[in-house]
Chains A and B, each alone.
Chain A
């Protein structure tokens, strides 16, 4: 479990995160949702240690991450896999080398073992015959899948995804969502996804944290989402006609 307690972060007097406390559970898809500029990415970066909050605590299975020394943080980070918004694949390495990279740096596996593991991960994300290609030679959806393969190659305990569906068509988005869901269940890991894609919220969201202007406005399950009486959350969730119709149908079924 990852626990966040009283997290505060500001940039030059502008408060971006205001006293955020929440928990993210193992084996579940945890979503951080909110509009653009609500603080989702900063929140996730504070949790993984890419940004240092002014105050607060982040506990990884009870271990206080923010107060660890460099070496202890390194150890925790080897258990973290992260899928960045743009994939963040290393341009100078081939797809296969990208997936092998964490294994090369942190394991004593031989080249053959590393390559076998990389192929296994690429197969898991349904990618074939792209091993020798460079990131610039593959599509956006493929890049995301390679990034997922790289994130899981070293068997992480925690998987972070920053807007995994941004810039993808609806079909590819669904593929990525389902892939993340399957991997979370299969590896029994804690997955935290930043998103403002409502399809993801409906399809795979299990625990949801809603941020609004740097505050934790609401948290709960996706079942509770439809019935919640929070103005800001409702304005965000039911902004589109499709979602309004979905709520209308849901209310009709209940009555």
Chain B
């Protein structure tokens, strides 16, 4: 029963989000502020995660390919496709759900418990639209670029790891990542990224917006935001994979 209530309230929250802004110019400025915070603010964590993720995928792929008939360049193919289709758009977005999602939830939650949202409402401002819409637009615009960067960093990490450990020579790895590349995979990854960006932003904002109580509840909302975002990312990952690849 509680989940039905939450889903219903989420859709009401969404309806409030897509109403006409009081002043486009203010919203537009805010979008760029959020883009900078979400995009540039996530580069370091995304780069570190992607390089190590690519390195691990490459070494594990080499470890699992035992048949000497399989060329070493296959490791490059496996690493590239795993990174592009799954690891960058899904795992990195789950990492970002932790970073961006908790930040959104705690920021809005704190505004709720310190009556800043009430202050916006009193002024006649649509608080959900003002606080969340710029974040949503910023996330769906900038996170695909972050994920593309993650793809490059992941493949680069695999190359370095393969070469340093000697499990796959540079020439074989580079030949592998260029062999049989399907641009559709990138399109699929971008669709996933946009959907996951939407989930992270709206679910986290929803949990922050309906926070009641004090600092303890802000923390709880933040945790809920990350947990629910990750669960929904996994569910929608499955749904999208069924729709596009099955």
Find out whether the CB atom of A104 lies under 8 angstroms from the CB atom of B115. Answer: no
Mask, A68-103, CB within 8 Å of B = 1, is 000001111110101011101111000000000110
Distance between Cα atoms of A74 and B111 in the complex (Å): 21
Find out whether the CB atom of B121 lies under 8 angstroms from the CB atom of A86. Answer: no
Find out whether the CB atom of A102 lies under 8 angstroms from the CB atom of B23. Answer: no
Q: Given A75-B124, A105-B125, A82–B119 Cβ distance below 8 Å?
A: yes
Distance between Cα atoms of A166 and B7 in the complex (Å): 38
B116 interface residue (CB < 8 Å to A): yes
B114 interface residue (CB < 8 Å to A): yes
B26 interface residue (CB < 8 Å to A): yes
Count chain B residues whose beta carbon lies closer than 8 angstroms to a beta carbon of A: 15
Complex interface residues of chain B between 93 and 148 (CB less than 8 A to chain A)? 110-111, 114-116, 118-119, 121-125
Q: Given A50-B122, A77-B122, A82-B122, A106–B22 Cβ distance below 8 Å?
A: yes
Distance between Cα atoms of A76 and B124 in the complex (Å): 8
Q: Given A104-B26, A106-B22, A84–B118 Cβ distance below 8 Å?
A: yes
Q: Which residues in A have their C-beta under 8 angstroms from that of B22?
A: 105-106
Distance between Cα atoms of A91 and B110 in the complex (Å): 10
A48 interface residue (CB < 8 Å to B): yes
A51 CB to closest chain B CB (Å) equals: 10
Find out whether the CB atom of B123 lies under 8 angstroms from the CB atom of A78. Answer: yes
Q: Which residues in A have their C-beta under 8 angstroms from that of B121?
A: 49-50, 77
Partner of A90, one of B23, B116, B122, B124: B116
Partner of A88, one of B23, B26, B115, B124: B115
Q: Which residues in A have their C-beta under 8 angstroms from that of B110?
A: 91
Partner of B116, one of A73, A75, A76, A88: A88
Find out whether the CB atom of B114 lies under 8 angstroms from the CB atom of A88. Answer: yes
Distance between Cα atoms of A77 and B115 in the complex (Å): 16
Q: Which residues in B have their C-beta under 8 angstroms from that of A82?
A: 118-119, 122
Distance between Cα atoms of A45 and B117 in the complex (Å): 13
* Interface footprint category on A: 20 to 34
Q: Which residues in A have their C-beta under 8 angstroms from that of B111?
A: 90-91
Q: Which of B23, B110, B115, B124 has the most CB of A within 10 A?
A: B124
Partner of A105, one of B23, B115, B122: B23
Distance between Cα atoms of A50 and B117 in the complex (Å): 10
A41 CB to closest chain B CB (Å) equals: 10
Q: Which residues in A have their C-beta under 8 angstroms from that of B125?
A: 105
Find out whether the CB atom of A77 lies under 8 angstroms from the CB atom of B118. Answer: no
A16 CB to closest chain B CB (Å) equals: 16
Q: Which residues in A have their C-beta under 8 angstroms from that of B115?
A: 84-86, 88
Distance between Cα atoms of A75 and B125 in the complex (Å): 10
Find out whether the CB atom of B124 lies under 8 angstroms from the CB atom of A84. Answer: no
Q: Which residues in A have their C-beta under 8 angstroms from that of B123?
A: 77-78, 80, 101-102, 105-106
Q: Given A86-B114, A88-B115, A104–B23 Cβ distance below 8 Å?
A: yes
Q: Which residues in B have their C-beta under 8 angstroms from that of A75?
A: 124
Other A-B pairs, 11, CB within 8 Å; known A82-B118, A88-B116? A50-B118, A73-B124, A77-B122, A84-B118, A90-B111, A91-B111, A91-B116, A104-B26, A105-B23, A106-B23, A106-B124
List residues of chain A with CB under 8 Å of any chain B CB: 45, 48-50, 73-78, 80, 82, 84-86, 88-91, 101-102, 104-106, 160
List residues of chain B with CB under 8 Å of any chain A CB: 22-23, 26, 110-111, 114-116, 118-119, 121-125
Which 5 pairs show the lowest CB-CB distances between chains A and B?
A77-B124, A74-B124, A88-B119, A88-B115, A84-B115
**25 A–B contacts, CB within 8 A, in A order:** A48-B122, A74-B124, A77-B124, A78-B124, A80-B123, A80-B124, A85-B115, A86-B114, A86-B115, A88-B115, A88-B116, A88-B119, A90-B111, A90-B116, A91-B114, A101-B123, A104-B23, A104-B26, A105-B22, A105-B23, A105-B123, A105-B125, A106-B22, A106-B23, A106-B124
